[in-house]
Amino acid sequence: MTPRFAPGVRLHHDTARQRWVVMAPERMFVPDETALEVLRLVDGARDVAAIVDALAAAFAAPREEIDADVRAMLDDLVARGALAG
């Protein structure tokens, strides 16, 4: 699976409040730190494995330990309408 943002959804830096927000049609939400790290790697080119690799490298974490968590996070973001599967 190669995650990408759902139509009309994008990550936006809210400079006035010093935070990142997910902007979507007629709604917005503030992702937690973990979700934000995942969302920043979603570019429509990286597949799930590549996203896991990037996070494993960035946080010096064993790949096999974070793999399930990242997949669960992606599923959750799809369920919330932020990402298209």
Partner 1 sequence: MKAPLALLAELTHRCPLRCPYCSNPVELTRASAELTTEEWARVFMEAAALGCLQVHLSGGEPTARRDIVAITAAARDAGLYTNLITAGVLLDAVLMARLVAAGLDHVQLSVQDAEPAGAERIGGMKGAQARKEAAARMVREAGLPLTLNAVVHRQNLHNLPLLIDTALEWGAARLEVAHVQYYGWALANRDALLPTRAQLDDATRIVTAAREAHRGRLVIDYVVPDYHAARPKACMGGWGNNFLAVSPAGRVLPCHAAESIAGMVFPNVRETSLREAWEESEAFNRFRGTGWMPAPCRGCAHAERDWGGCRCQAFALLGDAAATDPACALSPHHAMLADAVAEAGAADFRYRAFG
Short-list 25, 17, 24, CA closest to 39: 24
- Pick from 1, 11, 23, 54 the residue near partner 1 by CB under 8 A: 23
Both tokens assigned to 44: 């429509």
**Least CB distance to partner 1 at residue 69 (A):** 24
> Does 6 interact with partner 1 (rule: CB under 8 A)?
yes
Both tokens assigned to 45: 């080119």
> Does 10 interact with partner 1 (rule: CB under 8 A)?
yes
**Least CB distance to partner 1 at residue 8 (A):** 4
CB atoms inside a 10 Å sphere around CB 60: 6
Residue recorded with tokens 């896991």 = 52
Q: Return residues touching partner 1 (CB under 8 A).
A: 6-8, 10, 12, 14, 16-17, 21, 23, 25-26, 28, 81
